[in-house]
Chain A
Amino acid sequence: MVSLPTTPAELLPFIIAVVTSHTFITLVFFPGFIHLTIVVMFLTWYERKLLARIQLRIGPLYAGGPGGILQPIADGVKLIFKEVMIPYKADKPLFLGIPLALVFLGALPFAVIPFGQHWVIANLDVGLVFVFAVGSLFPSMILIFAWASNSKYPFLGGLRSLFQQVAYEIPMWISALSVVMLAGSLNLVQIVDAQERIWFIGPAFLSFIVFFIASMAELERLPFDLPSAEPELVAGWFTESSGAIFMVIFLALYMKVYLMSCLITVLFMGGWWGPAFLPQPIWFLLKALVVATFIIIPRGVYPRLRVDLLIKLGWTRLLIIALANVFITVVLLSTGVLSAWGL
């Protein structure tokens, strides 16, 4: 803690102390805003290149400067200078405010994600619950945005987003439950600490599969991108968004992709642990990149599911598998094969 300045002479040392403090650096530079912005721009570039290679798309494969690095910047400039069109009779404050709320909710969980032993903004005791709580606000926000834009396609997309939440949310929680039991904590730092010897992808492999599929559904990525199904609903719940609003919504969506790959890394892939020749955050970023790759690849490969099939999948398959893994965890812990806190 730095004490507040009382005289003008103390002002400069105060500013220096604040800027060099750990809280400021984590908030602004590494797990904070600048890192997030760079990663989101990188993800748009990465997804384009990956899909172009999978589907042999000539345009995205060769366009945009050296390796296409300039393309995200060009997109940003183009979208900022486009006209923001607000539909007739749309609810203006909600229509303009909800995209900002989406970005806020997308960035908020990064406060509790540990990128290294000391690279975490807020070491929260209920970190996992916090991430789930913030994440479960998204579909409601999407429905409000869809209602505010006064158009039929967005409204249908928003409703589908709500049904999707019904399908994925419970399996997701239950699959995270076995990790919580193995680590004996909801604190994400302690969960990663407990994986020093064995990553939880080993004892909780079924949970990992369920969590991965459920997070694909939460992200509305391709096998489950019903809320923004292009052939049926134009662009789903963001049909009426244009220009800067569209850019802000996409920023939030890609932040969520990064968030879910970070969360899978924390819960199952051992977080920052790795051989010591690389620093901890580098290991974390590498693992998150691998998970993000596996989240992106199905978009180029798989067709889309129906709503009722998705809900059926969630309740009759994923939930049962996740509960089975909870029982496996109970057996592992109570027979002493593994012990909680650190295995």
Chain B
Amino acid sequence: MPFESGQVPQGEARKRIVMQYYPYLLVFVVFDVVGMFLFAWGMSFANIPASDSFLVLLFLILLGAPLGYALKMALKRENW
């Protein structure tokens, strides 16, 4: 199907298609939730004590390692 682009299409239109970039989709699902909680934190940033904000920042920094691994796997062409 990708090779058909630009030519006259053949056969059924509604058939199964391979969802590419699966690692990115997985990371997206995870960061969706993280982003939601970050908004709750960012809105009340001025009201909560600095130690609580420190924990959130620590969590973000710790999240960097799995994110880096996931992106490393996602950039590999055989995982698309």
User: What is the interface of chain A, defined by CB distance below 8 A to chain B?
Assistant: 129, 147, 150-153, 155-156, 159, 163, 166-167, 169-170, 173-174, 177-178, 180-181, 184-186, 231-233, 307-308, 311-312, 315-316, 319, 323, 326-327, 330, 333-334, 339-341
State whether B38 touches A174 (Cβ < 8 A): yes
Query: B31 to nearest A CB, angstroms?
Result: 5
Interface residues on B, range: 20 to 34
Query: Which one of A166, A232, A233 contacts B24 once the chains associate, using CB atoms below 8 Å?
Result: A166
16 A/B residue pairs, CB under 8 Å, sorted by A: A150-B13, A150-B14, A163-B20, A163-B24, A166-B24, A166-B25, A167-B24, A169-B28, A177-B38, A177-B42, A184-B44, A185-B43, A186-B39, A326-B42, A334-B53, A340-B45
Residues in B whose Cβ lies below 8 Å from that of A151: 9, 13
Query: Which residue of B has the minimal Cβ distance to A232?
Result: B5
DSSP class of B's interface residues: helix, strand, loop or mixed? helix
State whether B5 touches A233 (Cβ < 8 A): yes
State whether B42 touches A170 (Cβ < 8 A): no
State whether A170 and B21 are in contact (beta carbons under 8 Å apart), knowing that A177-B42, A186-B39 are contacts in the complex. Answer: no
DSSP class of A's interface residues: helix, strand, loop or mixed? helix
State whether A173 touches B39 (Cβ < 8 A): yes
Query: Which one of B19, B25, B27, B35 contacts A174 once the chains associate, using CB atoms below 8 Å?
Result: B35
Residues 23-71 (chain B) with a chain A CB within 8 angstroms: 24-25, 27-28, 31-32, 35, 38-39, 42-46, 50, 53, 57, 60, 71
